[in-house]
């Protein structure tokens, strides 16, 4: 009987350790970032869709229904636009047009987050802004809805 109790305790401890790993990684990424969060209600900005031009400020909309429906992945329609271009020192603002909460993080679903930026939870009608000081291509995805992905190109 003591062996059964010890086995149960060991299994419980192992499950606890496994389940805590993503939370620890998320907390570590949050410590190394500089971001602005604002969950105020935002009205739609005229011209929010990208024209393919590189600007110093850009807006990306998190598509309505994207959290409930993986079909937005086809054609890269989860984020509008899928690819955003800003100049070095530019800012990208994500606006959540969905009713679900989202969490945008740099990286990709295969490799995981890379710690360059992390929005934390973005409520419905909330927004998250990130300034990009270095040129390069930044992939990102939604850590809650991993089929949602996009990229920012900084020149």
Q: Which of 9-13, 31-35, 38-42, 98-102 has the highest mean pLDDT?
A: 98-102
In this prediction, residue 5 carries a pLDDT of 54
The pLDDT tens digits of the residues spanning 61-75 come to 999 999 988 899 999
pTM for this prediction: 0.67
Cβ contact 87:154 at 8 Å: yes
Cβ contact 85:121 at 8 Å: no
Kindly tell me if the per-residue pLDDT of 11 is higher than 50. no
CA separation for the pair 103, 126 (Å, rounded): 11
Percentage with pLDDT > 70 across the chain: 66
| DSSP conformation letters of 7-56 | HHHHHHHHHHHHHHHHHHHHHHHHHT---EEE-S--PPPTT-S--S--EE
The pLDDT tens digits of the residues spanning 80-99 come to 999 999 999 999 999 999 99
CA separation for the pair 121, 78 (Å, rounded): 17
Per-residue pLDDT, averaged over 125-150, amounts to 97
């Amino acid at each position: 009987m003591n062996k059964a109790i010890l086995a149960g305790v060991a299994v419980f401890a192992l499950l606890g350790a496994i389940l805590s790993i993503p939370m620890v990684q998320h907390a570590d990424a949050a410590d190394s970032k500089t971001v602005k969060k604002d969950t105020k209600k935002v009205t739609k900005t005229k011209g929010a869709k990208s024209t393919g031009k590189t600007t110093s400020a850009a807006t990306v909309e998190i598509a309505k229904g994207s959290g409930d429906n993986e079909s937005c992945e086809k054609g890269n329609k989860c984020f509008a636009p899928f690819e955003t271009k800003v100049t070095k020192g530019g800012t990208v603002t994500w606006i959540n047009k969905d009713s679900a909460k989202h969490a945008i993080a740099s990286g990709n679903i295969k490799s995981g987050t890379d710690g360059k930026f992390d929005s934390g939870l973005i409520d419905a009608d909330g927004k998250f802004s990130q300034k990009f000081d270095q040129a390069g291509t930044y992939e990102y995805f939604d850590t809650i809805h991993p089929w949602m992905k996009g990229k920012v190109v900084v020149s």
